[in-house]
């Protein structure tokens, strides 16, 4: 199966490190097709960044409608439901995937993320996903997303220290890493922490394989149905549903569409 791993920020180095983490866990028959969004911010660190990044993300999906599954590799899960509207293939967001994985291996988890403003966004995701009971705390490290690309001892130590505080102060049973740029840190953190360390990119790959293997497609009934064809005006005209996936998605989409 072909899993499209999309980095919705425009930093290629970050895509490379998450692709490497994804390939390390992918099954023999899974191809990880990792791509970087071509338009939008170099890192996603707020609501505005996120809103602009979603168009680049949707562009990547529209240009390749035949992947078996898609992964949105950014911890804010930008555009997750919009992405699910334009395909019948499973679409995983790494935050949602990581939180669910955490509840399979622990009764509680804390999230360790980058900036304080990201912490607030992650807290909203926790509520959105109904994870309030399981999530002990969302912790910020004050590291900007692109600092993670340094892969320096300083960055490693800052994140490890916050994870250790999460274990001792929150008494959480697992750590969820709150940024796609932390995917490469698992090998460093794992032996140094007494609880499972969960990176959303790798668990999203395994969930994607599981969903495709189980024959599950995104529901096309109700709000996740394909977008209603209509003209869009101005700068977004080319995103109009009638000229996007509805024409280019090929047989796979058509089958599901007509069956629904
Ligand atoms: C991410 N931003 O995973 C996030 C989340 C964060 O560009 N990729 C980004 O740390 O703000």
DSSP letter (8 states) at residue 110: E
Instruction: Give the list of residues 6+ apart from residue 249 with CB closer than 8 angstroms, or none.
Output: 65, 66, 87, 88
Whether the full predicted model's pTM is greater than 0.95, yes or no, is: no
Q: What is the pLDDT of residue 245?
A: 53
pLDDT digits (tens, 9 = 90+) for 176-216: 999 999 999 999 999 999 999 999 999 999 999 999 999 99
pLDDT digits (tens, 9 = 90+) for 138-152: 999 999 899 888 878
Residue nearest to atom 9 of ligand 1 (CA): 44
Distance, CA 44 to ligand 1 centroid (Å)? 5
Q: What is the largest CA-CA distance in the chain?
A: 54
Which CATH class name applies to 2-94+205-247?
Answer: alpha beta
Q: What residues line ligand 1, using a CB cutoff of 6 Å?
A: 9, 43-45, 74-76, 113-114, 118, 145, 178-181
φ, ψ of residue 204 in degrees (nearest 5) = -65, -35
The reply to whether 100-198 shares the fold of 2-94+205-247 is yes
Instruction: Give the list of residues 6+ apart from residue 72 with CB closer than 8 angstroms, or none.
Output: 6, 8, 57, 78, 79, 80, 83, 91, 92, 93, 94
In the predicted model, what is the mean pLDDT of residues 134-140? Answer: 98
Atom of ligand 1 nearest to the CA of 113: 10
Q: What is the pLDDT of the chain when averaged over all its residues? A: 92
Distance, CA 228 to ligand 1 centroid (Å)? 30
Best CATH choice for the domain 100-198 from the list 3.40.50.12500, 3.20.20.120, 2.40.170.20, 3.10.180.10: 3.40.50.12500
24 CB-side CA count, 13 A: 14
CA distance 165 to 159: 10
Distance, CA 178 to ligand 1 centroid (Å)? 8
- Sequence spans of domains, the chain: 2-94+205-247, 100-198
Residue 238 tokens read as 């080319």
Residue with tokens 């959480």: 172
pLDDT digits (tens, 9 = 90+) for 95-106: 999 999 999 999
């Amino acid at each position: 199966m072909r899993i499209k791993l999309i980095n919705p920020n425009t930093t290629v180095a970050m895509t490379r490190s998450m692709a490497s983490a994804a390939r390390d866990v992918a099954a023999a028959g899974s191809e990880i097709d990792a791509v970087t969004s071509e338009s939008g911010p170099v890192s996603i660190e707020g609501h505005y960044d996120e809103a602009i990044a979603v168009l680049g993300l949707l562009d990547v999906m529209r240009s390749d409608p035949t992947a078996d599954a898609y992964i949105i590799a950014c911890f804010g899960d930008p555009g997750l439901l919009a992405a699910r509207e334009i395909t019948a293939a499973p679409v995983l967001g790494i935050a949602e995937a990581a939180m669910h994985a955490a509840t399979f291996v622990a009764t509680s988890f804390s999230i360790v993320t980058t900036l304080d403003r990201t912490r607030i966004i992650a807290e909203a995701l926790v509520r959105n996903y109904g994870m309030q009971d399981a999530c002990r705390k969302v912790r910020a490290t004050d590291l900007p997303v692109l600092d993670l690309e340094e892969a320096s001892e300083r960055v490693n130590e800052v994140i490890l220290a916050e994870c250790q505080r999460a274990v001792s102060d929150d008494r959480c049973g697992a750590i969820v890493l709150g940024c796609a740029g932390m995917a490469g840190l698992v090998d460093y953190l794992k032996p140094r922490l007494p609880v499972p360390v969960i990176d959303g990119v790798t668990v999203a790959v395994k969930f994607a394989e599981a969903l495709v293997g189980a024959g599950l497609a995104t529901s096309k009934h109700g709000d996740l149905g394909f977008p209603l064809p209509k003209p869009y005006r101005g700068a977004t005209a080319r995103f109009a549903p009638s000229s996007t996936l509805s024409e280019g998605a090929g047989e796979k989409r058509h089958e599901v569409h007509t069956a629904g």
